[in-house]
A = this chain, B = another copy of it.
Amino acid sequence: MADLLVVGSVALDSVETPFGKVKEVLGGAATYFSYSASFFAPVRLIGTVGDDFPAEHVQLLRDRGVDVGGLKTSHGRTFRWTGEYGYDLNEAKTLDTQLNVFAEFRPSLDERLRRTPFLFLANIDPELQLDVLHQMAERPRLVALDTMNFWIQGKRDALLKVLAEVDVVTINDAEARQLAGEPNLVKAARVIAGMGPKTIVIKRGEYGAMLVANGAFFVVPAYPLESVYDPTGAGDTFAGGFMGYVASQEQVTASTLRRAMVYGSVMASFTVEDFSLNRLKRLEPAEIEERYRAFHDLVRLEA
């Protein structure tokens, strides 16, 4: 089991879905990622919050064993995101984004963090992603990166630079098509692999996720849930389960990546069952294994 470093946002989210509404609850990509990954491997978090950030949220991460030494408290307000979802829950409509202290976020890694063997660059400015990667004292065993349409469109050159240096990219299907400039997903994956990352994880929301690694495809459906309350954080929770599982294994083989896809899906399936990290907060490790088996049953040919 090896350590896993994540750099990304820690936020206060206000979210409305057809099933309810929450105000200024714990959110942020690095938060969901590290909480999820903590069930599999030791996690170190790099991020920034304002001095209005509730201490209980930091304590929550500490209680899961997350190393929050790299979470800097700056003078000012924490990053805030406000969004809503319609009945299909597939796409968030962003109502308001206040970067606040996150606008000045310049991650600086100490000697210890620079030697973490697994690295996840959550969805932030690709220039920062590259900067963090270059701060590493030695090339991590595995580097994964998440990105989105905003950077694909607005900072394409910087994104291509960092993509050339990572092993894994997580991206949704529309963004994969946009990044590759190719409507066919199979061809798009090949174009993206040519940009650098040999492993591509395509996130498909309520339809699950697809892994493309060295030309081979692996598909995990989403778990059919009766109560999906809030998809916020599902992608980052997925990435946390994926990277956490990978970091927990001796070797990163093709089979490791496939099982990691399922663990990522398992974790995401819990996150969407409640707002914020509420479902993860009451999650027992035995439930993870139980749902892992349930995922297996979903695709098993023998009933």
Residues of chain A at the chain B interface (Cβ within 8 Å): 18, 87-88, 183-187, 204, 207-208, 210, 216-221, 224-228, 253-255, 257-259, 262, 296-303
Q: In the complex, A183→B87 CA distance in Å?
A: 7
* Beta-carbon nearest neighbor of A257 in chain B: B303
Q: Is the CB of B255 within 8 A of A302?
A: yes
Q: State whether B219 touches A299 (Cβ < 8 A).
A: yes
Asked if B184 contacts A226 (CB within 8 A), the reply is yes
Q: A186-B225, A210-B224, A227-B184 are in contact. Are A301 and B259 (CB under 8 A)?
A: yes
Residue of B nearest to A226 (CB): B186
- Which residues of B are found within 8 Å of A228, using beta-carbon distances? 184
Q: Indicate if the CB atoms of A303 and B217 lie closer than 8 Å.
A: no
* A258 vs chain B, min Cβ distance (A): 5
With A258-B302, A262-B301 known as contacts, the answer to whether A221 contacts B224 (CB < 8 A) is no
Q: A255-B303, A258-B300 are in contact. List 15 more A-B contacts (CB 8 A).
A: A184-B225, A184-B226, A184-B227, A184-B228, A185-B224, A186-B224, A207-B207, A210-B221, A210-B224, A216-B297, A217-B224, A218-B298, A219-B221, A219-B298, A221-B221
Q: Closest Cβ of chain B: how far from A60's Cβ, in Å?
A: 29
